[in-house]
Every structure is written in C-alpha cells, then in structure tokens.
Chains A and B, each alone.
Chain A
Amino acid sequence: MNRLPLTAVISASLLVLARPSPARAAEAEVDLPEITITDPNRDLFRLGLPDGAGERDLATSAAETERRDLEIVGLFRLLDPASFPESLLREGLGFSSDYWSQVGAQGVAKLRAAHESGGIVLEGRLYQVGRGDSPVLTRTYHGSELRPLVHAWANDVVGQFTGMPGVFGSRMAFAMTGRNGEIATIGMDGQDLHVVTQMRSQCMLPALSPSGSQIAFNSFLRGGADLWLVPASGGRARRISERPGLNTGAAWLGSNALIATLSYEGNAELYKLSASDGRVMARLTNSPASIDTSPSVSPGGDQIAFVSDRQGTPQIFLMSSAGGAARRLTFQGNYNQTPRFSPRKDTPMIAFTGRDERLVFDIFIYDLRTGKIDRVTQGQGSNYDPAWSPDGRLLVYASSRGGLFLRNLQTQKEFQIYKGGAKSPSWGPPPAESR
C-alpha cells in the first residue's frame, strides 16, 4: 500500500520532465529575415565539352560533331576547352563537380569512341555540376558510322535538359539559286549536301513529304511552271502536273495528296491533287481576279494557311483543308507571304515572311491562340521563307546575307548552316530513331 504514493510521486516527476522546457518553447518560432531577390541575369546554360576519349581520330571527330550539334541547337554556351586545366582533360569519362564548377561549367558532356566488333561504339556521359559526381545520363551507341551515333547522343542530351529529344539527323531540302538552280538536300547540321535533281533548269519551292522520301518541286524544264516529284535520295524526277499556266507551290496533305496552285481554269487557285498521278481531287478556293498561292497544311491536316491578294495586297489567310470560307490573319504591312505551320499542335503558330516599312523582308510568327505577331529577325538584311524543325523548336530561313540560317526561337541564338545561294527550305521529319 505504501508503494502507491511512491509510484505517484515518481510518475508525476517524470511527467514534469517530459514537458518541453520554457527555453525550447521560446525557440519554437525563429524570426528569420527574408530577402527577395528578383530579375535574374539571363544567359545560356554553360556546358563543358572536353575532348573525346578513346581512339584518337574517332574521338576528335566525335567531339567536333558533338560541339557543332550542341552549338546549333542554341540552348548552350559551350565553354572553350582551352580554358580547361590539365587535370580535367585527363579525367576521361570520370567527373569532379568541384573542379568543373571552378571553370564555370553548369554541365559537362563526355564522349568515348572506339572501334569494336567491326563497328563503332560511342559512350556518352552527361553530368550536372552541383548534382553529385554521378552522371545524370549514360548512353552507349553502336553503329557503322560515327556521325549518326553522335547525333543520337546530341538528341539525348537535348532531351535530358528539355524533356523533348533533339532532331539531329533530320534533313532539309532547298532550292539552290544562281546558275545551278537544282534542288538539294542537306543535314540540319549543314553537312552532307546532296544535289538531288539534274534538271538543268531553274527549280524552286521544294516540299519534303511527311515520310521524307519524296520531294515535290517546280521546274521550268519544259517551258512552263510544272509540278514534279523526285525521290529525296536522288533519282529520276517525274512530272505530275503540266496543266496550262501555273502548277506550283505544293504542300503535302498526308502522304498521298498535295495542295498546289493551278491556274488552268483562269486565275491562280488552290487545288488538292493526288500525289501519285497529279489528278485533281478537289478545288479548294474560288476567288476570281485574285491569286491564291503558297499553301501550308496544319499538323492535324484540318487547316490550310495560304497567301491571297483577294483584298488588295498579299496577306495570310486561313481556311479548312476541305475548302470554303477563308479568314484573314494579317493586317499589318502590305506584303505577307510564305506561311508555314508549326508542327506542334499544342502551340499553334504560323511563321511567315513580312515586308516592313523599310521594304525589308523579315520573319514573323503569328500565334493562332492570341492573334499576336512576334518579329523573329530584324536588322540582318532580308530574311524569308521560314520552315520549322520537326520539334517546333527551331526555324530555318534563307537570308540575303547568303545561305541558310537556323534560329532557336527561345534563346534567339542564330547559326548559319549553309553558305551560298539558297531559298525555300523545307524541313523533313525527325530522324527515324526518335519517331
């Protein structure tokens, strides 16, 4: 019986000890000063690209291709390897976050290339400074040629950073100007140029098919503006429309049909043609005494943007791909042309060429959701004939500066991929491995 009071006293003491002390209660809320820092400086992500490891010639070639690809995509500021200390150059595929931080890198991409089993093996590692010494991306590629493997790595690096892989390995078609006015194709990195036609006459307005296997284009070989098809890898071209007047400016509607301008019934209107035999399937516009031309088909195939002077001056119009009433989109300037739909359905936009009050041509983008027009180029000669990359991230266009230029629309970084007379680029589908 005497144990009960003793137990009660011990229990009560323990309960008192269990309660937080007054000093700790005072520290429960700490009054911390808060400073809001706003308006950051903006710059491209600083990426270190050390020389490749492995077999010397292969590694050098791989590093050059990698550098060119990651420069073109316009997302990165590539650090000069001459600024890397010896210790970093000897790292191989390893990584030290602290050392790379000291040279100002935010990320590092490393390659090793070697011959193996009759082919080439390319290993890639991507590191992010401040996120530990383990790679955030590791890939190994096998193939018989080095450039496609490096392109695949560049696409994966872009995908790691942006959530959407790059499109290196895709190709463009364009019309060469000057005496040799043939149709050519070129890699998006500006390498691997192929002249596809041998028409020995002025060719223009190439349009790559959705699969990238065929090119529709115009040629004056037989005197008139006729519509031709040629395999994108080269070969015999065949004429599919030679009607009186114009047969020009084709855009693909799916893989089996083309939207083109014909004038055999009077004035220039838009028609839907069969791609296999040029048979007219439907007439889409009917605006007498005006010219309707330069069609572009939306990514879903349900709308067509085109140029018409039905209201006085060449302006951009939009209509259903089945034809019918057309809605005018552009009201500023008196000469807007070459509309081209972005391939991205989530951000419906049309790039076009517009002439400003100084009579200079530049590239503009019309946002279909807001009606807002943004200017892409300015003060760099005349720029015209835009075409979108398959991922909608880049625009290619011709310029009076001579050649073809690529521009990243987010960073506005521009890169010349081709020097020489060129116009009307048409960008093909993404490379096969990323489709």
Chain B
Amino acid sequence: MAAAAHGRIRPLGRGTSFGGIFATLLIHVSLVALIYFAHVKSPPPAEVPRDLIVTKLVSFGKPRDKFWLPRIVEPPRPKAPAPTLNLTDNPNAAPAPKAAPKLEDADLSKELRRALKRAQLLAKADEDPPEGSLTGSREGTSTQGSAGDEYATAIYNAIRRNWITPTGLVTDAELATLVTTLKVSIADDGSLSNPVLRGSSGNQYFDDSSVQAVKSTGHVPPPPANLRAMYRRGVLFKFAGKDLAR
C-alpha cells in the first residue's frame, strides 16, 4: 500500500512546496541564461599576428661617397636674375665682394680650389645616378636586401604604392612614431575587403591615409591556392611611418 502510494503521481494540493518549485524554476532559468550568454554573446576570437617577412631588393646604383653625407638635395634651379640689391644695411660695412673666383684662376689657394670643386659637384647633384649597389636590382627600392615571402611582398608593393601621408598635417618627426593596424580579408580573386581599424596611431590623418591606401589599392594578386583560406580569414596590415630599412 505504501509502495503504491509512492508510485502514484500526487496532484497538487495540501502539502505541495511552492517554495521548492520556485527554487527549481530559478535554478533552471539561471542555467538557460548561462547557456544563452555563453553561446550567443561569446567574445570574438583573439587574433594572433604572425609576422610575414617582405622581400626587399637592393636598388641598382652607385654607392654614395661617405664624403657627401648628409646630402643636400637642391630643388630645380630657376633662372634667377643677377642680384641688383645692396645686401648690407650697415653704412660702415666693407665694400661688396668681387666676382666669385673660378676654378680656372691660377692664383687660387688649395682650400678655395677644393671648395670650388665641391660646389661644382653639388651643382651636378641632380645628374648623379640614384644611390644603391652596383649589384642591385633595377626594381630595387631599399639600401639593404632581405629575403622573404613572395606573396606578402606582392601585397606590400601593391599597397605601399598607394599609401600617401599628408605633409603638413603629419610632421616628419611624428611620422617616425606612428603605427596604424588594419584588418583586411583577401578574397580568392585578390579583392580586398573594407579595412577594419584594429589599432589607431592616434593621428586621424595617418589612420585615414592607411585606410585610403587599402581602398585605393582595391585588388592585389590572387593568393596561392594553399594560402587562400588563411587570407580569407584576414591579414593584419601594420602601417608604420618609420622606414625600418634605414
């Protein structure tokens, strides 16, 4: 009789513990909420960057004579009229200097002859071949070579070509310290997705120039078959103002 009483389902009525039912419901609601937030609101996967080395070719040219360091680069010379103004404001100043000495003059001192030769070489500065190495490449862009990933190099060259930072709004001194990181996906046909900012440099014009570089590029060579999945997931572009090769 007692066993039969235990097996029967008792209807609700006297003796039912509403507190216990409430506690059970509370526990189950909490567990459901836990499942919901664990699966739906889970944080985005952390991105672990893996540095790819870009190949840099040494440019073809003549190594620069250390004597010229640092080089003074002259702008193109316009035809200037001969000076007609009196350049001194001191009534007691010495008379204006005579015409400049020439290299052909016989009575030049050794120092003056050396200074005139240097001035002549400076005057021909824009005729010099670009600086580089005699064993460099005509497609080279660096003063030091480094071996690296071929596809990464192709991406680097495509984007760098379109990367322009505004002088005047980003000073040279600031430029050396700025770094912007963008995440971009590369589709199988080489098209670049809209860049997503992952790390700001703190300078909006530098950040904008990096984003614009990716958007202007638009397409890079299609990735090799074995790398498609990786580049579809995304690549991190780190735009650094400083030239690390110098």
Is the Cβ of A35 less than 8 Å from the Cβ of B91?
A: no
Is the Cβ of A424 less than 8 Å from the Cβ of B89?
A: yes
Is the Cβ of B241 less than 8 Å from the Cβ of A128?
A: no
Given A18-B38, A20-B38, A34-B235, 8 additional A-B pairs, CB 8 A: A28-B45, A32-B49, A35-B156, A37-B238, A249-B89, A357-B119, A400-B81, A408-B168
Given A28-B46, A34-B235: A40 and B168 within 8 A (CB)?
Answer: no
Complex interface: chain A residues within 8 A of B52 (CB): 33-35
Measured between alpha carbons, how far is A268 from B92 in the docked complex, in Å?
10
* Most B Cβ at <10 Å: residue of A30, A43, A177, A361: A30
Contact of B85 among A20, A43, A161, A400 (CB under 8 A): A400
Scan A1-18; emit 1 where CB is below 8 A from any B CB, else 0.
Answer: 001000100110011011
What residue in chain B is nearest A358 (Cβ atoms)?
Answer: B119
Complex interface: chain A residues within 8 A of B27 (CB): 7, 11
**Does A24 count as interface, using CB distance less than 8 angstroms?**
yes
Is the Cβ of B235 less than 8 Å from the Cβ of A35?
A: yes
Measured between alpha carbons, how far is A373 from B211 in the docked complex, in Å?
37
Scan B22-64; emit 1 where CB is below 8 A from any A CB, else 0.
Answer: 0010011001101100110010011111111010000000000
Kindly provide the distance from the CB of A205 to the nearest chain B CB, expressed in whole angstroms.
6
How many A-B residue contacts, CB cutoff 8 Å? 202
Is the Cβ of A37 less than 8 Å from the Cβ of B237?
A: yes
Is the Cβ of A106 less than 8 Å from the Cβ of B208?
A: yes
Given A358-B119, A421-B85: A30 and B152 within 8 A (CB)?
Answer: no
Measured between alpha carbons, how far is A36 from B163 in the docked complex, in Å?
13
Leading 4 A-B pairs by shortest Cβ distance? A381-B80, A39-B243, A34-B49, A45-B166
Complex interface: chain A residues within 8 A of B84 (CB): 400
Measured between alpha carbons, how far is A210 from B72 in the docked complex, in Å?
37
Is the Cβ of B46 less than 8 Å from the Cβ of A30?
A: yes
Is the Cβ of B48 less than 8 Å from the Cβ of A31?
A: yes
| A-B contacts, 10 listed (Cβ < 8 Å) | A32-B236, A33-B152, A33-B235, A33-B236, A35-B235, A37-B156, A40-B209, A45-B166, A106-B166, A400-B80
Measured between alpha carbons, how far is A421 from B85 in the docked complex, in Å?
8
**Does B233 count as interface, using CB distance less than 8 angstroms?**
yes
Is the Cβ of A44 less than 8 Å from the Cβ of B212?
A: no
Is the Cβ of B81 less than 8 Å from the Cβ of A402?
A: yes
Is the Cβ of A411 less than 8 Å from the Cβ of B167?
A: yes
Is the Cβ of A43 less than 8 Å from the Cβ of B164?
A: yes
Complex interface: chain A residues within 8 A of B239 (CB): 37, 40
Kindly provide the distance from the CB of B166 to the nearest chain A CB, expressed in whole angstroms.
4
Given A45-B169, A293-B90: A34 and B238 within 8 A (CB)?
Answer: yes
Measured between alpha carbons, how far is A43 from B97 in the docked complex, in Å?
40
Which A residues contact B (CB, under 8 angstroms)?
3, 7, 10-11, 14-15, 17-20, 24, 27-45, 74-76, 101, 106, 128, 130-131, 161-162, 177, 204-205, 225, 246, 248-249, 268, 291, 293-294, 357-359, 361, 375, 378-382, 384, 398, 400-402, 408, 410-411, 421, 423-424
CB contacts under 8 Å to A, within B159-174, are 159-160, 163-169, 171
Is the Cβ of B46 less than 8 Å from the Cβ of A44?
A: no
Complex interface: chain B residues within 8 A of A10 (CB): 28
Which of the four size classes fits the interface of chain B? 35 or more
Kindly provide the distance from the CB of B184 to the nearest chain A CB, expressed in whole angstroms.
10
Is the Cβ of A29 less than 8 Å from the Cβ of B45?
A: yes
Given A24-B42, A33-B52, A294-B89: A44 and B165 within 8 A (CB)?
Answer: no
Is the Cβ of A130 less than 8 Å from the Cβ of B208?
A: yes
**Does B245 count as interface, using CB distance less than 8 angstroms?**
yes
Is the Cβ of B80 less than 8 Å from the Cβ of A401?
A: yes
What residue in chain A is nearest B82 (Cβ atoms)?
Answer: A400
**Does B127 count as interface, using CB distance less than 8 angstroms?**
no
Given A32-B49, A402-B81, A410-B171: A357 and B164 within 8 A (CB)?
Answer: no
Given A45-B169, A291-B92: A40 and B50 within 8 A (CB)?
Answer: no
Measured between alpha carbons, how far is A75 from B241 in the docked complex, in Å?
19
Kindly provide the distance from the CB of B150 to the nearest chain A CB, expressed in whole angstroms.
12
**Does B100 count as interface, using CB distance less than 8 angstroms?**
yes
Is the Cβ of A38 less than 8 Å from the Cβ of B31?
A: no
Is the Cβ of A41 less than 8 Å from the Cβ of B165?
A: yes
Complex interface: chain A residues within 8 A of B159 (CB): 37
Measured between alpha carbons, how far is A398 from B49 in the docked complex, in Å?
55
* Most A Cβ at <10 Å: residue of B77, B78, B87, B244: B87
Measured between alpha carbons, how far is A384 from B211 in the docked complex, in Å?
42
Measured between alpha carbons, how far is A410 from B97 in the docked complex, in Å?
34
CB contacts under 8 Å to A, within B121-173, are 152, 155-156, 159-160, 163-169, 171
Kindly provide the distance from the CB of A409 to the nearest chain B CB, expressed in whole angstroms.
10
**Does B219 count as interface, using CB distance less than 8 angstroms?**
no
Measured between alpha carbons, how far is A5 from B75 in the docked complex, in Å?
89
Complex interface: chain A residues within 8 A of B212 (CB): 106, 130
Kindly provide the distance from the CB of A26 to the nearest chain B CB, expressed in whole angstroms.
9
**Does B13 count as interface, using CB distance less than 8 angstroms?**
no
Complex interface: chain A residues within 8 A of B119 (CB): 357-358
Complex interface: chain A residues within 8 A of B167 (CB): 42-44, 410-411
Is the Cβ of A291 less than 8 Å from the Cβ of B115?
A: no
Complex interface: chain B residues within 8 A of A384 (CB): 87
Given A44-B167, A106-B208: A380 and B78 within 8 A (CB)?
Answer: yes
What residue in chain A is nearest B24 (Cβ atoms)?
Answer: A7
What residue in chain A is nearest B9 (Cβ atoms)?
Answer: A2
Measured between alpha carbons, how far is A311 from B31 in the docked complex, in Å?
90
Is the Cβ of B211 less than 8 Å from the Cβ of A130?
A: yes
Measured between alpha carbons, how far is A204 from B50 in the docked complex, in Å?
66
Measured between alpha carbons, how far is A401 from B84 in the docked complex, in Å?
10
Measured between alpha carbons, how far is A40 from B176 in the docked complex, in Å?
11
Complex interface: chain A residues within 8 A of B91 (CB): 225, 246
